[in-house]
């Protein structure tokens, strides 16, 4: 079993680490493939792939069951289905991880119906955001396979970016040191 955990990881936080540890605890024999989006992914405040990949390597260096991938490093963003199909040529039995809050946005994703039909989803249900029954009802007309995993850790990368020092407890020490050393996420000066 291979679990694909995609995201911007901007920056990677203790919540990302906890998600991976929770997945490993539940799916002991799985390899977790961490897939950061490339620089082409148009998202405000997205720092370079180079730094996000380095921070992910630091975050997961002690987790032999994790592999940080570079598939999206230099190519145009083509959506999750494209990435999973590409990974499926190398890794078999793929599952895709998504937060329950992002599940509701799935209808806006590129080829979301094919994505749902072709790959089982592991839903990280943060703070009991969504009941499995509700999700099944919302997606009842689209073939899909959902497995819910409860997850509670109120850390937001957005909040961390807003004030690195104030949010340093949301980061591992190694990632925090890296951010400071490379002067990433500088605070906005209001004039």
User: Mind listing the pLDDT tens digit for each residue in 31-70?
Assistant: 999 999 988 887 778 899 999 999 999 999 999 999 999 9
The Cα–Cα gap between 67 and 16 comes to 14
Residues 6+ apart with CB under 8 A from 54: 178
User: What pLDDT, in 10s, does the model give residues 137-188?
Assistant: 999 999 999 999 988 877 778 888 888 888 889 999 999 999 999 999 875 4
* Extents of the domains making up the chain: 2-154
This prediction's pTM: 0.89
Least Cα distance to 144 among 154, 155, 131, 135 occurs for 135
Place of tokens 């809050």: 101
As a CATH number, domain 2-154 is: 3.40.50.620
Place of tokens 């901007």: 10
Least Cα distance to 72 among 39, 42, 112 occurs for 39
């Amino acid at each position: 079993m291979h679990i694909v955990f995609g995201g911007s990881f901007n920056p990677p936080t203790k919540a990302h680490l906890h998600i991976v540890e929770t997945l490993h605890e539940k799916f002991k024999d799985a390899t977790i493939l961490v897939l950061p989006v490339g620089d082409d992914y148009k998202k405000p405040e997205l720092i370079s792939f180079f730094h996000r990949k380095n921070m992910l390597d630091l975050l997961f260096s002690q987790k032999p069951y994790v592999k940080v991938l570079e598939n999206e490093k230099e190519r145009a963003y083509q959506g999750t289905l494209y990435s999973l199909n590409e990974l499926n040529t190398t890794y078999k039995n793929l599952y895709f991880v998504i937060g329950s809050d992002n599940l509701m946005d799935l209808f806006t994703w590129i080829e979301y119906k094919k994505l749902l039909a072709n790959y089982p989803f592991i839903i990280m249900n943060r703070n009991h955001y969504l009941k499995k029954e509700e999700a099944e009802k919302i997606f009842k007309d689209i073939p899909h396979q959902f497995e819910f995993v409860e997850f509670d850790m109120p850390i937001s990368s957005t909040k961390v970016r807003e004030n690195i020092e104030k949010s340093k407890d949301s980061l591992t020490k190694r990632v925090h040191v890296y951010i400071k050393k490379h002067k990433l996420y500088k605070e906005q000066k209001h004039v």
